[in-house]
Structure 1
């Protein structure tokens, strides 16, 4: 078992993933059939229900075995991550209430580029990003990781026009899709980054049926261009679960 050097971008098949406790059972079973072990993200009462157990709200996987976590991240989940050998560095501020107090850790690191609304980034994380001289890409969307499906270190899929524009300006291959068509309990809709994630170098997994999405063919062709196949849960509406976060790999 090895840690994933670049967050969300495994080099081999994944052995462990972090998922919202409200993940579809069929998706959970599909991952377990591949030998993937699941770390469940428990809920926190400090947040509104729709995102109260979304792992990308509490945790920012920075590199290798380093994860930044909100001080009020679910204790049981954090302990499970520590058991896997992760170095958990707690941020300065808790995630609370509603936007923007809940997006301090919802950051998308894509290779050496970091997307976020840096008005809201936790100070401890912002200082680490500066120390490591990573490229900061400021966007208006605070739910940044939710809005970005990371395909590889230079390619993303998003429904956010601002993120799409910034990605293109920075030389990235980016696919813009229609907003909506993704379930998020209690809200109008969720985001593409929140319902999927790589579980292998060439395998993207979705919590639901991506073929139902109106932009499916564009998504499929974009992934194919980058040599990525799809693990799909037929017949179930895509549901935002705060990202499929790969933790360890073969």
Structure 2
């Protein structure tokens, strides 16, 4: 078992993932059939119900075995990450219900690039980013990781026009899809980044049926171009579960 060098970008078959405890059973079965161990993100009462067990709200995998966690991250989940050997560094501020007090850890790192609304990044995380001279890409969308589906170290899918533009400006291959058509209980809709994640260098998995999305043909062609295949919970509506986060690999 090895840690991923960069978050969300495995080099080999993934052995452990972190996901919302409310993921579809079919998604869980798919992962289990692939012999992937699952750490479930438990529910927190400190945020509103829709995101109460979203891992990308409470945790930011920075690199290798380093994860930043909100001080009030779910204790059981954090304990499981400790058991896997992760170095957990708690941020300065906890997560709370009122926006933007719930976005401090919702960054998207893609290789040496970090997308976020840096007005609200937790200060301790920001110190590491600046120490390591990572490329900061500021966007106004606070739910940044939720909004970005990482396909490779040079390719993303998003429904956010500004994120799309910033990705293109930074020489990334990006696909812009229509917003909506993704379930997020209690809210109008969720985001594509919150629906899935890579479970191998070239395999993406979705919580729900990606073929039901109105831009499926575009997504299919984009993934083909990136030489990435996808698995999904067929027959179920796409549902935002705060990302499927690969943690360890073969």
Q: TM-score, normalised by structure 2?
A: 0.99
Correspondence for 1:143? 143
Correspondence for 1:15? 15
Correspondence for 1:125? 125
Correspondence for 2:196? 196
Correspondence for 1:170? 170
Correspondence for 1:159? 159
Superposed displacement of residue 40, structure 1: 0.4
Q: State the number of aligned residues.
A: 250
Correspondence for 1:112? 112
* 2:104 counterpart of 1:101: no
Correspondence for 2:235? 235
Correspondence for 2:90? 90
Q: Secondary structure at the match of 1:193?
A: helix
Cα distance per residue 1:142-165 (max 9 Å; x no partner): 000000000111110000001001
Q: In structure 2, how many angstroms separate the alpha carbons of the residues matched to 1:236 and 1:130?
A: 41
Superposed displacement of residue 233, structure 1: 1.3
Q: Secondary structure at the match of 1:40?
A: strand
Q: In structure 1, how many angstroms separate the alpha carbons of the residues matched to 2:98 and 2:184?
A: 15
Q: In structure 1, how many angstroms separate the alpha carbons of the residues matched to 2:89 and 2:153?
A: 24
RMSD: 0.5
Correspondence for 1:54? 54
Correspondence for 1:32? 32
Correspondence for 1:211? 211
Superposed displacement of residue 48, structure 1: 0.2
Q: In structure 1, how many angstroms separate the alpha carbons of the residues matched to 2:29 and 2:209?
A: 15
Superposed displacement of residue 98, structure 1: 2.4
Q: In structure 2, how many angstroms separate the alpha carbons of the residues matched to 1:209 and 1:186?
A: 20
Q: In structure 1, how many angstroms separate the alpha carbons of the residues matched to 2:243 and 2:73?
A: 16
Q: In structure 2, how many angstroms separate the alpha carbons of the residues matched to 1:107 and 1:16?
A: 20
Superposed displacement of residue 232, structure 1: 1.5
Q: In structure 2, how many angstroms separate the alpha carbons of the residues matched to 1:138 and 1:122?
A: 14
Cα distance per residue 1:199-219 (max 9 Å; x no partner): 011100000000000000111
Q: In structure 2, how many angstroms separate the alpha carbons of the residues matched to 1:177 and 1:69?
A: 30
Superposed displacement of residue 99, structure 1: 1.3
Q: In structure 1, how many angstroms separate the alpha carbons of the residues matched to 2:232 and 2:86?
A: 29
Superposed displacement of residue 135, structure 1: 0.2
Q: Secondary structure at the match of 2:17?
A: strand
Superposed displacement of residue 59, structure 1: 0.2
Q: TM-score, normalised by structure 1?
A: 0.99
Q: In structure 2, how many angstroms separate the alpha carbons of the residues matched to 1:69 and 1:87?
A: 10
Superposed displacement of residue 111, structure 1: 0.8
Correspondence for 1:225? 225
Q: Which runs of 5+ in 1 are unaligned?
A: none
